[in-house]
Amino acid sequence: MVNQMGKDMGGGDTYTYATEPRPVANRRKPKYREPEELDEDEIGAANIMFDRRVIRGNTYAAQILPAAPPNDNVSHTKRRKMHQQPPGTPHAVEGRRHIDVQTDSFLEELTDTVPERDVNTQTDPFMDRPPTPLFIPMKIGVDAETQIEPGDLFDFDFEVEPILEVLVGKTLEQGLMEVMEEEELAAMRAHQEHFEQIRNAELVATQRMEAAEKRKIEEKERRLAQERDRLEREKQVREKVAAQTFARGYLTGLVGNVFDKLFEQGYFYDPVEKEVEESFMPWLQKEVGTCIQKETAARAVVDAVIEEAQIKMKAARVKAEEYRAQQKKQEEDARIAEEVRLAKLVEERQTQLEALVHMILYDLNLIPVETIEATIVALTPEPEPTPEPEEPEEGEEMPELPPPPPDPEPPTEIQVLDKLLLDGTLQKETIQEALLLFNMGDSHFTKDKRYVPEG
């Protein structure tokens, strides 16, 4: 075994210690310490892990335990204070082992098997218990009875009257509330339209005032701009006049002296001729050529523009004709569709009206059928008489018989209803009441929807 340990001793020397190897002596110590060797802090007062009365492992081999647990706390404390190891039992030799021996006051037989014994017993049979009778309390008091005839407690006609009054009243109240609500909505719409008209008028007046104010502001800004331009022009004119006055005063004697010197040096010549030859003629030729080129280019451009305009005008004319034809076709289709829709609507309304008139005349049973037939006969025009053929004169052929007149068309149900209303046979109020009751499913109608008036 070699143990090396480095220490920092200033000079950096290393301490080395070495011993020769030797075998370890067999101390025959158990793998775990006995409970007596543990301190009091390590053993809990009620820790079952170190309680010898708790059997671990196989329970078939019962351990011999004392009647009362040994109180070893005092001895442990003393031994810990004295720091002395108490003498213990020497270890068993090889091939043998220590066993526990009973040292209690009362000896018990130790066995590995639990004694068992079979014991039997027999009980007397019990008879079935009869069912408990139903408890009926003793009758007390005096019986009495009363005969109630039909109609004594409930009269349907009398009892149903308030219910019917409530139903009719609620229906009328609901109808009145709906009518009042419609009138209120109509008044609200009229008030809203009046308010919108007033608001639109105020908006137009406001826009007119805003436009007038805007025009005033624009006029003011334009006048201010004109005044600024005028002041700027006056300033420029004053500056020019001042500059001319200064130049005139500065060049008053200079012009005469310069001309005199130039005349003496021979610089004077005919300026018109020189200007015409050197300046005017080349400029004139150049300008004439430029004008000719511009005119030629302008003519070409105008021709191209005219040609393109003609092409575009033709294309636009063709598109306009196509668009007009398409618009005309669409308008014609829309007009035809509208006519068809109106015709269908008129036909539906006519059918509904005829069905309603038929129901009023025949289904509601407001007037007798004989009265309706008499009215139809009265409204049917008399047939025209058949004209008699004229007798031919001698030598002439028999003329052809004229065609018989057509049969008169019978009156429509609408004409019959108008005739009955005009004659007073049928009243509008009666029709309205019958239709209202028919829609409400009133009892005045029979199962086949025939109207039976009151009384």
- Which DSSP string corresponds to 89-126? PPPPPTT--------SSS-----SS---------PPPP
How far is CA 14 from each of CA 2, 6, 17, 18, 80, rounded to the nearest angstrom?
Answer: 14, 5, 10, 13, 41
* pLDDT at residue 267, as a whole number: 73
Tell me the sheet residues that pair with 15: 5
Residue 1 contacts by C-beta under 8 Å, 6 or more apart in sequence?
A: 18, 19, 21
* pLDDT at residue 449, as a whole number: 46
**Dihedral, CA of residue 133, residue 137, residue 139 and residue 143, to nearest 10:** -100
Task: Name the residue with tokens 């398409």.
Answer: 326
* pLDDT at residue 11, as a whole number: 44
Residue 426 contacts by C-beta under 8 Å, 6 or more apart in sequence?
A: 366, 367, 417, 420
**Interatomic CA distance for residues 232 and 245, integer angstroms:** 20
Alpha helices in 266-280 (DSSP H): 271-274
- The phi, psi pair for 313, rounded to 5°, reads -65, -40
DSSP 280: I
Q: What pTM value is reported for the model? A: 0.27
How many beta carbons lie within 10 A of that of residue 436, not counting itself? Answer: 10
**Interatomic CA distance for residues 374 and 371, integer angstroms:** 5
Nearest in space to 376 (alpha carbons), one of 420, 342, 332: 420
Nearest in space to 413 (alpha carbons), one of 450, 368, 381, 376: 376
Residue 73 contacts by C-beta under 8 Å, 6 or more apart in sequence?
A: 40
Nearest in space to 219 (alpha carbons), one of 207, 232, 227: 227
Residue 454 contacts by C-beta under 8 Å, 6 or more apart in sequence?
A: 444
Written as tens digits, the pLDDT of the chain (455 aa) is 444 444 444 444 566 666 777 766 555 555 555 555 555 544 445 677 777 777 776 666 555 555 454 555 545 555 555 555 666 777 888 888 887 777 777 777 777 787 788 888 887 777 777 888 888 888 887 877 888 787 777 788 888 899 999 999 999 999 999 999 999 999 999 999 999 999 999 999 999 999 999 999 999 999 999 999 999 999 999 999 999 888 887 777 777 778 778 777 767 767 777 777 888 888 888 888 889 998 889 888 988 999 998 898 899 889 988 998 898 899 998 889 898 989 888 888 888 888 888 787 777 777 777 887 787 777 777 766 666 656 666 666 666 666 666 666 777 777 777 877 887 777 778 777 877 777 765 444 444 444 444 44
- Sign for the CA dihedral angle at 202, 204, 207, 211 comes to negative
* pLDDT at residue 444, as a whole number: 46
Nearest in space to 43 (alpha carbons), one of 89, 80, 86: 80
**Interatomic CA distance for residues 35 and 148, integer angstroms:** 101
Q: Yes or no: say if 362 and 451 are a contact pair by the CB < 8 Å rule.
A: no
How many beta carbons lie within 10 A of that of residue 416, not counting itself? Answer: 20
* pLDDT at residue 450, as a whole number: 47
Distance linking the first and last C-alpha atoms of the chain = 139
